Amino acid sequence: MLTIGKLGSSTGVKIPTIRYYEQIGLLPEAERSLGNQRLYTHKAHERLVFIRHARDLGFSLEAIRDLLSLSDNPDQPCAAADAIARAQLAEVESRLARLAALKTELERMVVQCAGDRISDCRVIEVLSDHSQCITDHAIEDATS
């Protein structure tokens, strides 16, 4: 059995995050010691490693919930897991395209800036007027 501190250290997941995952049901509720300290099993450790790796790959908590549900039923076909991974890949490819457009626009702004005074600064000028941009590099809402 692992305490929450040891679980966090061994997985690289912060204690408040472990508590949150437990609260939203991604991790099973921990057993408690006589002193009311959370105690986690090896299975909980493996599950948290899975969650951490999935988060590192950018999966949403809902997608992780679905993947965990699928992994809890290993005899079913993996088409659903494949579909979730394909959707994540499409999202990553979309983000990469937006980032490439952003990079292009920033490079163009920097190259065109004369570096004199702010009143003549191309960076400030372009940031003030989106119509001067040559790419559609709008970043989606930060919560997505």
- How much of the chain exceeds pLDDT 70, in percent? 92
Amino acid residing at 92 = V
Residue 143: per-residue pLDDT: 47
**143 is written with which tokens?**
């919560």
Contact 58/74 with Cβ under 8 angstroms?
Answer: no
User: Of 1.10.1660.10, 3.40.1190.20, 1.20.120.1200, 1.10.357.10, which CATH number belongs to 2-71?
Assistant: 1.10.1660.10
Give the pLDDT mean for 40-65. 96
- pTM of the complete model: 0.77
For 57-108, the pLDDT digits (tens) are 999 999 999 999 999 998 989 999 999 999 999 999 999 999 998 898 888 8
- Of 36, 28, 27, which is closest to residue 3 (Cα–Cα)? 36
